[in-house]
Structure 1
Amino acid sequence: MARLELPPEDAMTPEQKAAVAEVVAGIRGRVPAPMVAWLRSPELASRAQKLGEFLRYGTTLEPKLSEMAILVCGRHWTSHHEWTAHKREALKAGLEPEVIAAIAARRRPALADARESAVYEVSTTLLSTGRVPRALHDSATAALGGQGLVELVGILGYYCLVSLTLNAFELGLPGSIAPELEDPAPMG
């Protein structure tokens, strides 16, 4: 059960109301789950949702690649709500169900091309070690471009914030429990 609820509008501060109005007026059209917690710090809520909007909808990475990175991050942190929401989005973006199943099982998926491989390898390596070795950096830059690689790292960082927020406050639970994530072993 979620530890926090969205405050009723009549109980919100002017700053909280402004942050909610801003996100609802944006591309999402609704308050995303982590913002329920972030609203306790309206400035964080406003800034984080703007960054998230860019990283989710405005990067040079096609949605299939962004969603794969988000799933790897959600799997890394075993963030059920993030996984459930982005599994749906990944399927809509064209990510193969077999790729999604492999990520859930912490197995390297069979990937279609160098861009998918770069996203997967950078995501898993960076999340598990906190580093990107030179050879991987160079191959990922060749596949994604310098801007794409920087944006990928931004996606991973932002979705770590999202995952940790969702997990800390048990947001989206119990409705978003993903049975395929029940293995608590670290990803590698």
Structure 2
Amino acid sequence: MRLKLLSPSEMNAHQRETHDEAIAGKRGSAPAPMMAWLNSPEMARHATRLGEQLRFNTMFPPKLSEIAILVTARHFTAHYEWYAHKRLALKGGLDPKIIDDIRDRRTPAFGDPIAQMIYDVARSLHEGHGLTQPLYDAAVKLLGERGLVEIIGLCGYYTMVSMTLNVFEFGLPEGEVSELV
């Protein structure tokens, strides 16, 4: 870890207020990257609120939103993010074979066209830095404009999360080994 994470007793009033707000939210705890973001408490507050919105309040159930998050974690080889969201994806009902395919950079076989579209959009955002017109048209038709905006939001937010975790070298919990190479 490149950064000393502050305990609540070491935080200034603004940092502590942001920390406590996160704990009181739907997560019930402070998300790992927020502990780094607390060096900029106002950014941490807004980023954590956005993360809570994207994680819990999109039109997609966890089984689907976790596809975009896992594609992002894999793209950035974000070990901690992969570790955390693989568990959430499994809990949400995502097929372990799909998770393994994303991990191994293989295109999964989806039985659900919406899941396939989320994967295609997330992958295109990261690898192509946008969407071709045919993919855009198909995404709007299947996901709607709101759905497309929310997938873009998930990929963008979890890009920031992945970068934060990677730059500050957040480690996995004791005894855990990364699946990503």
TM-score of the superposed pair, with normalisation by structure 2: 0.96
Structure 2 unaligned spans of 5+: none
Measure the CA separation in 1 of the matches of 2:93 and 2:7: 37
- The equivalent of 2:138 in structure 1 is 139
1:156 aligns with 2:155: yes
Contact kept? 1:81, 1:166, Cα under 8 Å: yes
Partner of 1:79: 78
Offset, 1:36:
1.3
Q: Does 1:60 align with 2:52?
A: no
Deviation per CA, 1:8-64, whole angstroms, max 9, x where unpaired?
222211100000010000001111110111011101110000000000000011211
Instruction: Please list every run of 5 or more consecutive structure 1 residues that lacks an aligned counterpart in the other structure.
Output: 183-188
- How many residue pairs match? The answer is 180
1:105-161 Cα deviation digits (max 9, x unpaired): 000000011101100000001100111011111111122111011000000000000
CA shift, 1:174, in A, is 6.6
Which residue of the partner structure matches residue 117 of structure 1? Answer: 116
Alignment partners' CA distance in 1, 2:157 and 2:133:
23
In 2, the alpha carbon distance for the partners of 1:93 and 1:174 equals: 21
* TM-score, normalised via structure 1 length: 0.92
Q: Which residue is equivalent to 2:100?
A: 101
Distance 1:6 1:16 in 2: 12
